[in-house]
């Protein structure tokens, strides 16, 4: 096998047929998606960022709400970060939202609020990688640039029986070059979206619908009986499980919430106080120690409230939450990053999904209690 840095794949005589068949198929089979009803580059950009690691059905309501709240780059640029994170709440990978806002702020400051129609300018924006840049340039501006995500890599790996690991950057770059060489003149927008739709609806990871595929006649994997083997992708490391302990900490009918640091996992979101449980500490002692170290106060733990499991790409949180109160005579002052809130006010804050479940358990307890 060639070294990854030397990978080059070549289009052959099937190229014209593949492009023609794909475009004809797309004309009658394209998905009706809300962001496709416009060529507005800002709308396409937002949809592409939301769609990274997230299913189309999940994204749709978020996209509609986002566009109602931040209909233009200016509106997003001027919004408080907390409002942006709240609108993203539940979509995960929150750095996407923060990067998008920062990039849009640059578009407003530097490009008069117009998403640049220029590969170098777009690629320099925060959080905009080759895929997002390619999607905006091709879909909104019809420029012949590839937009290669996991779906497109799978389709091309099968069409050309490419057995290199698609997780490697060199394979991605080589497939990008190959896709780009296929884009028919004047049809970049439709061609790239046709590939996305083919990967999402026909050439799916498991059980691809080869009988219905518009490019089955040109598919090398089908011809050689290797559809099930391709694409090749080395398994990612399994996420590491960690125990997390937290408190629904009450005082005078209010709950303590704290804002997470501006960098790192779930940066800038609010949550119930707590931390990772050291392996050698029992749960409740770990909670006492955590609150003491963070706020210098004693608490009285009352009851086990709820257990929540949350899977990130690299971590699995096994989060156990207790209801607790400040011990008599103890106090925690409010600040920029620490608030005492009534349970019904929790909905105003952007909480990670695991902490939303704690908030729901607090609400249930209030109803039942
Ligand atoms: Fe994918 Fe099957 Fe079509 Fe080949 S024939 S591109 S494997 S759906």
The domains located in the chain, with CATH, are 4-229 (1.10.340.30), 240-367 (3.90.79.10)
Cα of 21 from ligand 1 centre, angstroms: 13
Q: Which residues of the chain have pLDDT under 70?
A: 1-6, 366-369
Nearest CA to ligand 1 atom 4: 219
**Global pTM value:** 0.86
**Which residue blocks in 30-94 are alpha helix, DSSP H?**
41-51, 56-69, 73-78, 81-88
Give the angle subtended at the CA of 92 by the CAs of 90 and 98, to the nearest 5°. Answer: 105
Q: Helix (H, G, I), strand (E, B), or coil: what is residue 123?
A: helix
Q: What is the pLDDT of residue 1?
A: 42
Per-state percent for the chain, helix, strand, coil, to nearest 5: 50, 15, 35
Q: What is the pLDDT of residue 235?
A: 87
Distance 59 CA to ligand 1 centre (A): 26
Q: Name the nearest CA neighbour of 310 among 353, 264, 362.
A: 353
Give the per-residue pLDDT at 2.
Answer: 44
Cα angle value 70/73/79 (rounded, 5°): 50
What atom in ligand 1 is closest to the CA of residue 227? 7
User: Residue 5: what pLDDT?
Assistant: 46
Q: How far is the CA of 221 from the centre of ligand 1 (A)?
A: 7
CB of 18 closer than 6 A to ligand 1?
A: no
Model pLDDT, residue 24: 97
pLDDT of residue 180: 94
Nearest Cα to Cα of residue 307 among 316, 315, 298:
316
Cis preceding-peptide flag for 231 (omega within 30 of 0): yes
Which atom of ligand 1 sits closest to the CA of residue 215?
A: 3
229 catalytic? Reply is no
- Tell me if 199 CB under 6 Å of ligand 1: no
Whether 274 contacts 244, CB under 8 Å: yes
């Amino acid at each position: 096998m060639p070294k990854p840095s030397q990978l080059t794949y070549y289009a052959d005589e099937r190229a014209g047929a593949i492009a023609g068949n794909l475009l004809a198929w797309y004309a009658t089979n394209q998905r009706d998606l809300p962001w496709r009803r416009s060529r507005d580059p800002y709308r396409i950009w937002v949809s592409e960022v939301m769609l990274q690691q997230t299913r189309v059905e999940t994204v749709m309501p978020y996209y509609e709400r986002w566009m109602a709240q931040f209909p233009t780059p200016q509106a997003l640029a001027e919004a408080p970060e907390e409002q942006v994170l709240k609108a993203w709440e539940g979509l995960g990978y929150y750095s996407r939202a923060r990067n998008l806002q920062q990039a849009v702020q640059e578009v407003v400051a530097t490009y008069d609020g117009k998403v640049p129609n220029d590969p170098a300018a777009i690629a320099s924006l925060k959080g905009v990688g080759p895929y997002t840049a390619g999607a905006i340039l091709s879909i909104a501006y019809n420029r012949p640039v590839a937009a290669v995500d996991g779906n497109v890599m799978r389709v091309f790996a099968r069409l050309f029986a490419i057995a290199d690991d698609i997780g490697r950057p060199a394979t991605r770059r080589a497939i990008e070059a190959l896709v780009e060489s296929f884009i028919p003149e004047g049809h970049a927008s439709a061609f790239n979206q046709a590939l996305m739709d083919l990967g999402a609806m026909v050439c799916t990871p498991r059980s691809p619908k080869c009988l219905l595929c518009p490019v089955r006649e040109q598919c090398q994997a089908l011809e050689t009986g290797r559809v099930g083997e391709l694409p090749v992708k080395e398994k990612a490391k399994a996420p590491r499980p960690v125990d997390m302990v937290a408190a629904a900490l009450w005082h005078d009918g209010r709950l303590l919430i704290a804002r997470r640091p501006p960098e790192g996992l779930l940066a800038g979101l609010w949550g119930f106080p707590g931390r990772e449980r050291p392996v050698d500490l029992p749960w409740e002692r770990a909670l006492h120690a955590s609150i003491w170290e963070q706020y210098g106060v004693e608490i009285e733990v009352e009851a086990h409230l709820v257990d929540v499991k949350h899977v990130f790409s690299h971590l699995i949180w096994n989060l156990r939450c207790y209801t607790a109160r400040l011990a008599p005579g103890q106090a925690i002052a409010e600040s920029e990053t620490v608030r005492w809130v009534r349970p019904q006010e929790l909905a105003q804050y952007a909480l990670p999904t695991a902490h939303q479940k704690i908030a729901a358990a607090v609400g249930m307890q209030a109803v039942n209690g």
